[in-house]
Structure 1
Amino acid sequence: MYRRDDFSDCDTDIRLDGKVALVTGATAGTGFEIAKNLARRGAKVIIASRNATKLAGAKQDIIMDSGNQNIVARQMDLASLTSVRNFVGELRSEPRLDILINNIGAIGLQDRLTEDGLQLMMQVNYFGSFLLTFLLFPLMRRSAPSRIVNVSSLALILGHIDFDNWNDVNKYSNFGYYCNAKLADVLFSVEMNKRAADSGVSVYSMDPGLGKSEFFRNFENDILKNILNSALLHFGRPLHRVATMSVYLAVDPKFETESGKHFRDCKEFYSSWFANDTILTRRVWEESKKLVRITREEDWERAQNNFGSRTQLYNII
């Protein structure tokens, strides 16, 4: 007998032959399942992660699962803005990018500044993805219609954006930084939707819920880590089903007019609250640009040299 699950409304048979998709955090967990799902639909899938060994293994597993040989593994460390910029530079050879799924989510990282002067949890969970998405916009505009899916978390409801302190160390708990980063993911999605209007690039954010993963693997306290991971593995939702929601937002025609909204279990969720504070979303965008050191000259240079004319990026500067 067929049993309905939380993601039954997310199922779609859309094919992606000839399309190119990029998934971050795709060597394990939900990101790995998202990449397999996209590969089974015929897309060329680029998987990005900082660990070369895990990338190689994930690439082979995705090929074996999908029968799709068109899988590309590229190293990128979101804890390094230089690595993100180098990664974008390497994508010059790609003629198009139809789907970007920012799936990175990490907790239990050290409370310290990176070489870029950014708090590590905030950079990995938010600032790195912000820069990546910003710099890839010209290629995605050239490939339009294209879609960006930013994976957030229900933890965002506990998040707080204090522009004077959101990048400080020793200011929040580890979970607090995670909540703040996931709130920022959604606020930046709302603002990007406004700035990318009429570009053909749609942007969505979503809450995947709790999946059967070892999400707490970075915790130093082994007892706490084992308890929390055991709870997720027991009570969490199957990752291959959780992955269907990101893919659904990225491919299904019904979302063509839903850009800028936030989703949970394939339905709109809390979007009006995020969208209404236009002052907050605008400032998140501008302050994020400053912290990742985006300049107008760099924006235009990258847009012109990497992916096209200066006017391609102008709308979101």
Structure 2
Amino acid sequence: MTEHVRTAVVTAGTGGIGLETAVGLAARGWDVTVVGRDARRGDAAVARIDAGAGRPAGRFLAADLSSLAETRDLGGKLAAEGALHLLVNNVGGMWTRRWESADGIEGSIALNHLSPLVLTETLIEALAAAAPSRIVNVTSAAIAAAVPVFEEAEPPGPHYGLAATGRAKLAHLAHTMDLAERLKDRGVAVFAADPGAAATDNAGEMTADILPPQLRPHWEQIKQGVSAPVADAARAPLFAATDPSLTGRTGVLIGPAGAPDDTLLQHLTPEVAEAVRRWTPTLTA
């Protein structure tokens, strides 16, 4: 990658919203490292990033971010390269069936909360070295379906993918706001970005079973809601990553329209934030 160019890392950047974000960054002059599990998809992503930028702007690094050990290894590798101007924590997802990571952690928690938390921690010094720099954590309106109980690893009762992802994203939104406060004097701004619903590969794999029973009568309406072009969904993370109007600000949530929108923050009460602070260390210990 070219020296003296702003550098960015985008997780889950070989497809969907992550790739569209990476392409947008490269077109704006950034060098972008995309992280994913599949080398073939990684090569295709880099080719598209480079073509959109009109120069060699992309790089692929392989890592399974559902594994906290691999996530730490990736962070160590990136940190060793020096200053980093932007981290976009896009990794995450929603699944119909419950699954566990290699660490024995429910998958929604592992990928939507713990993985970006662990990666960010390994890169804080690199981000501070590039100050003013930014962290963008991709969030989700699934937060509205969360059961905000953080006394055990998972709440009691049946597993529903929408609620599980919402709970993990709510936990990470709490972490995002805490991190913004923690890093505000180090020149690292922290933002949450809600891309809204879009026709991603992940959305295409969902079935009605992902919903709690009371929401299943609305399944057809919900499916229509995830038909928006994926490129449009990159508007929020790109705004959070690059817009000059955010200079000097931190702890701001960007909505799907690509503008500050604190709607999801109504779910983040002081009680929830404190519960998440107690709960998260029990999962990463």
TM-score normalised by structure 2 residue count: 0.85
TM-score normalised by structure 1 residue count: 0.77
Counting only pairs closer than 5 Å after superposition, residues 17-28 of structure 1 correspond to structure 2 as 18-28=5-15
Give per-residue Cα distances to partners, 1:233-277, cap 9 Å, x unaligned.
Answer: 7x41x3223213211111122112431122212122237636661
Q: Is the contact made by 1:261 and 1:271 (CA closer than 8 Å) also made in structure 2?
A: no
Report the Cα distance in structure 2 between the residues aligned to 1:81 and 1:69, rounded to whole angstroms: 30
Report the Cα distance in structure 2 between the residues aligned to 1:175 and 1:208, rounded to whole angstroms: 16
Q: 1:109 to 1:135 in 2, by over 3 A?
A: farther
Q: Is the contact made by 1:119 and 1:168 (CA closer than 8 Å) also made in structure 2?
A: no
Name 2:249's counterpart in structure 1: 258
Name 2:131's counterpart in structure 1: 144
Give per-residue Cα distances to partners, 1:279-303, cap 9 Å, x unaligned.
Answer: 532442443233123xxxxxxxxxx
The answer to whether structure 1 residue 239 and structure 2 residue 230 are counterparts is: yes
Q: 1:217 to 1:62 in 2, by over 3 A?
A: same
Task: Identify which of 160, 178, 189 aligns with 1:191.
Answer: 178
Name 1:288's counterpart in structure 2: 280
Q: Is the contact made by 2:22 and 2:34 (CA closer than 8 Å) also made in structure 1?
A: yes
Report the Cα distance in structure 2 between the residues aligned to 1:153 and 1:221, rounded to whole angstroms: 18
Greater CA deviation, 198-207 or 88-97?
88-97
Name 2:141's counterpart in structure 1: 154
What is the DSSP-based 3-state SS (H/G/I as helix, E as strand, rest coil) of the residue aligned with 2:201? coil
Amino acid at match of 2:177: V
Name 1:216's counterpart in structure 2: 203
Q: Is the contact made by 2:86 and 2:135 (CA closer than 8 Å) also made in structure 1?
A: yes
Task: Identify which of 175, 187, 194 aligns with 1:207.
Answer: 194
What is the DSSP-based 3-state SS (H/G/I as helix, E as strand, rest coil) of the residue aligned with 1:73? strand
**Cα RMSD after superposing both structures:** 2.8
1:52 CA drift (Å): 1.8
Report the Cα distance in structure 2 between the residues aligned to 1:108 and 1:61, rounded to whole angstroms: 28
Give per-residue Cα distances to partners, 1:12-32, cap 9 Å, x unaligned.
Answer: xxxxx6110111111111111
Counting only pairs closer than 5 Å after superposition, residues 1-317 of structure 1 correspond to structure 2 as 18-108=5-95, 110-167=97-154, 171-219=158-206, 231=224, 235-236=227-228, 238-264=229-255, 265=257, 266-270=259-263, 273=266, 277=270, 279-293=271-285
Q: Is the contact made by 2:67 and 2:102 (CA closer than 8 Å) also made in structure 1?
A: yes
Report the Cα distance in structure 2 between the residues aligned to 1:229 and 1:25, rounded to whole angstroms: 24
Q: Is the contact made by 1:213 and 1:229 (CA closer than 8 Å) also made in structure 2?
A: no
Amino acid at match of 2:253: H
Amino acid at match of 1:138: E
Give per-residue Cα distances to partners, 1:155-196, cap 9 Å, x unaligned.
Answer: 112213322234369643111111111212211111111222
Report the Cα distance in structure 2 between the residues aligned to 1:66 and 1:169, rounded to whole angstroms: 48
Amino acid at match of 1:50: R
Amino acid at match of 1:256: T
Give per-residue Cα distances to partners, 1:78-105, cap 9 Å, x unaligned.
Answer: 2101110110121144221111111123
Report the Cα distance in structure 2 between the residues aligned to 1:219 and 1:270, rounded to whole angstroms: 25
Report the Cα distance in structure 2 between the residues aligned to 1:116 and 1:63, rounded to whole angstroms: 35
Structure 2, unpaired ranges of 5+:
212-219
Report the Cα distance in structure 2 between the residues aligned to 1:55 and 1:109, rounded to whole angstroms: 26
Amino acid at match of 2:41: K
Structure 1, unpaired ranges of 5+:
1-16, 294-317
1:220 CA drift (Å): 7.5
Name 1:312's counterpart in structure 2: none
